[in-house]
Amino acid sequence: MNGNNNNNITTTEKTETKGGGDDQQTLLAALLGATSVARDEHEFSHRLSTFKATIATPESQKRREYYLDRQKTKRRDLLKQLRTLASTTDNDDKVEHNDEDYDDSDQSMSDQKGVESTTSTRDIDNDDISMTTTTTTTVEQEKIRKTQKNIDSKLKRQQKKKQQELSMYSNHLMLAEPMKDVPERIDVDWFAVPAPQGKRCLVVSQRDKTVARSPDGTIIASFSSTLPFGSTASRESCGNINNRFCVLDCLFEPIKSVYYVLDILCWKGNVLCDCNSEFRFFWKQTKLSETMAHKRSQSNPSPFIALPYYDTDTQSLKLLNDTLSEQQQVKELIDDSSYNIEFILFYHKESLYSFGLTPLFLSLSAHHLPTLLASVMNDPNNTIK
């Protein structure tokens, strides 16, 4: 297992904002922008049922090289968007708060007018009762109309806020392409991650609660955890309040109620999307081990297990294949950290975390691993460079 080469660590940039808690929710939307994808692309179960370990074609290799080169531009855009996030969100919050103040003052004025009208009618002569009744009825109708208007306005704002929230969190996952051929330098430039079957989700811990969302942004579960800022038990008061959050890419196993951590997007406000896989995996293993999030407890009912990662040289793939063979002989899972390997996910070591499909993230059904291993071992012409 690799990933602790500090020479390749990419420095992360903290984002300090002036707005409130909404800045945290808006952060994901500012990273790279949402991508529209098919629903089943978020799962690995639809991947190729057959696999031939053919050598990568020049076209597929050029495509991977193109995506690696394009990451440089995306990184610059990412940092630019993060710098402008604070002022944009702060202005939006001020506009929304002003609208609410206006509605409240409007309601107060309407109530005052109604009281004044009712009071003034007490001294009117009996001859003017009919006129007074009409005036009072008109004022009451106006009051009801304005009250209903305020209610409708608030409902529209709530609906708009909900849609914006769904949009912020939808399609913010990196999606794997099926492995159709063997990439060049697979034994040098890639990591392999054995993964179980599960529901792909985005987990955010902030403001003393933890929320898991489906790929379309819908909330799957809201619960307490010992992730940083995920509950009162894991509350921390250090640093800027707007940087107190974590974002993880997970697979949720509902039967055991376990979140298997594939990747890490943000940790304590540090944005890691612009870091390569080698650093993100090192950070994932190190930081999660420093918490109690991997242990089930009353304050952490659903543990978070960091999935291991392997190098893809011959020896490492042999070790992974042996692990897979041993697993097939074991019928019972011992604890939360044990699971049935269903897929092998391949991450290019230099790939950044980008939203949507990318050829730098590949998936392969676990039962095809022996075929891939044989291809890597039987390469006398060194065609897999």
Query: What does residue 194 show for φ and ψ, rounded to 5 degrees?
Result: -75, 125
* pLDDT band with cut points at 50, 70 and 90 for residue 7: very low
Q: What is the pLDDT of residues 57-94, one digit of tens each?
A: 677 788 888 888 888 777 666 655 544 433 333 344 44
CA distance 354 to 136: 63
User: For position 294, what pLDDT does the model report?
Assistant: 93
User: For position 181, what pLDDT does the model report?
Assistant: 86
Whether residue 139 has pLDDT greater than 50: yes
Q: How many CA atoms lie within 13 A of 259 on its CB side?
A: 33
Whether residue 224 has pLDDT greater than 60: yes
For the ranges 20-34, 168-182, 344-358, the lowest mean pLDDT is seen at 20-34
Q: What is the DSSP letter of 364?
A: E
For 127, the token pair is: 């001859």
User: For position 205, what pLDDT does the model report?
Assistant: 92
SS3 of 233, please? helix
36-74+174-377 folds as D-amino Acid Aminotransferase; Chain A, domain 1 (3.30.470)
**61 versus 34: which is more confidently predicted?**
61
Query: What does residue 180 show for φ and ψ, rounded to 5 degrees?
Result: -100, -20
Average pLDDT over residues 298-320: 93
The proportion of the chain whose per-residue pLDDT surpasses 90, expressed as a percent, equals 33
For 379, the token pair is: 């390469």
Average pLDDT over residues 280-303: 94
Whether residue 263 has pLDDT greater than 70: yes
For 69, the token pair is: 């080169």
Alpha helices in the chain (DSSP H): 22-31, 58-120, 129-169, 186-189, 277-289, 314-329, 369-377
Residue 31's closest CA among 94, 70, 85?
85
| Helix H or strand E encompassing 344 | strand 343-348
For the ranges 31-35, 221-225, 318-322, 372-376, the lowest mean pLDDT is seen at 31-35
| Helix H or strand E encompassing 249 | strand 245-253
Global confidence as pTM? 0.68
CA distance 9 to 171: 27
For 241, the token pair is: 């309040």
Whether residue 28 has pLDDT greater than 60: no
CA distance 6 to 4: 6
Average pLDDT over residues 295-310: 94
Domain edges within the chain? 36-74+174-377
Average pLDDT over residues 141-167: 76
The per-residue DSSP string of 67-131 comes to HHHHHHHHHHHHHHHHHHHHHHHHHHHHHHHHHHHHHHHHHHHHHHHHHHHHHHGGGS-GGGHHH
CB 348 within 8 A of CB 186: no
CB 169 within 8 A of CB 28: yes
| Helix H or strand E encompassing 194 | strand 190-195
For 346, the token pair is: 């391949």
User: For position 361, what pLDDT does the model report?
Assistant: 94
Q: What is the pLDDT of residues 331-360, one digit of tens each?
A: 566 688 889 899 999 999 999 998 888 999
Residue 195's closest CA among 314, 29, 347?
347
User: For position 55, what pLDDT does the model report?
Assistant: 55
User: For position 35, what pLDDT does the model report?
Assistant: 45
* pLDDT band with cut points at 50, 70 and 90 for residue 11: very low
User: For position 42, what pLDDT does the model report?
Assistant: 54
SS3 of 198, please? coil
**242 versus 89: which is more confidently predicted?**
242
User: For position 19, what pLDDT does the model report?
Assistant: 43
* pLDDT band with cut points at 50, 70 and 90 for residue 216: confident
Whether residue 96 has pLDDT greater than 50: no
Whether residue 166 has pLDDT greater than 90: no
Beta bridge partners of residue 146, listed in sequence order: none
Whether residue 187 has pLDDT greater than 60: yes
CA distance 143 to 138: 9
User: For position 54, what pLDDT does the model report?
Assistant: 57
Gyration radius of the chain over CA positions? 28
Pick from 2-11, 227-236, 243-252, 301-310 the range whose average pLDDT is largest: 301-310
CA distance 25 to 298: 27
CB 214 within 8 A of CB 224: no
The proportion of the chain whose per-residue pLDDT surpasses 70, expressed as a percent, equals 61
CA distance 225 to 299: 6
* pLDDT band with cut points at 50, 70 and 90 for residue 52: low
